[in-house]
Amino acid sequence: MRFAAGIEYIGTRYAGWQAQKHARGVQAEIEAGLSSVAAAPIEVVCAGRTDAGVHGLGQVVHFDSPVQRPPHSWMLGANTRMPDDVAVRWVQAVDESFHARYTAIGRRYRYVIHNARSRSALWLNRAAWWTYPLDAGVMHQAGQALLGEHDFSSFRAAECQSRTPWRRIESLRVRRHGAFVIIDIQANAFVHHMVRNIAGTLMEIGQGKRDKASMADILSARNRSAAGVTGPAGGLYFVEALYPPPYHFPAADGDAALFGTACNALESSSVD
């Protein structure tokens, strides 16, 4: 039987999603928890691999099981055997054609910036700290130059293994909530470090180090050196993977906790 599962994790203690021989990966913890329920080895495939220190609110995986277990047994059983910073939030039976990565038609990330003069102990490794004042409205306007299908080589890490730098950004929104600036970005897929490099560039624009009109030139340069710094990993969250019908999975609870409700309330207001 094939199952899909929603995964939530704090990535601070992990070397990224992927299981590695000499470093701790989130994938290994998930597989160990599910394998204990199945009493047999279980391998998972995720919708989008995340880097070291990056968090997951609504990561989606699929796995095949040689034994039958009700969905709640997978969830409860795996959670009792995994670290507290990794959790299975839901499990659903799916047909064998479902693939967490290849069936997905889009992915959404959120980048959280703590914009304050002093650092926060509570938000350590949970938000990027930027001490200089940021203009969220200018950042939003600059980000609109990235909408559509483009060559994102300017925002692509040198070690990226993707065969093509072309991706399609469907939405990019920047808004402020008190001392926090939140970037929400949705695309069909992302190249390595794409969101963090976009976030770093937008922060430089929001600070006034770059003109908001420069984003189009950075994109057309197709050169990583043209863009800004790479934003810290701790500010990045994999929010959700999007799938076509008939697949309907629960939304991530943590999305609202990370200013989702506040940001949605601002949807109808214009960005200066």
Q: How many whole angstroms separate alpha carbon 197 and alpha carbon 165?
A: 14
Burial of 75 (0-12, 13-18, 19+ CB in 10 A): buried
Catalytic-residue membership of 51: yes
**Length of the chain measured in residues:** 272
Question: Which is catalytic among the residues 51, 85, 151, 253?
Answer: 51
* β-strands 106-115, 86-94 pairing: unpaired
111, 235 in Cβ contact below 8 A? yes
63, 2 in Cβ contact below 8 A? yes
Q: Which residues are annotated as a binding site for substrate?
A: 109
DSSP string, 213-271: THHHHHHHHT-GGGS-PPPPGGGEEEEEEE--TT---PPPTHHIIIIIHHHHHTTTSPP
DSSP string, 46-87: ESS--BTT-EEEEEEEEEE-SS---HHHHHHHHHTTS-TTEE
Q: Which residues are annotated as a binding site?
A: 109
Torsion, CA 202, CA 124, CA 8, CA 194, rounded to 10: 20
Which amino acid belongs to residue 11?
G
Q: How many whole angstroms separate alpha carbon 101 and alpha carbon 59?
A: 11
Q: 3-state class of 141 per DSSP?
A: helix
Residues annotated as catalytic (active site), given as ranges:
51
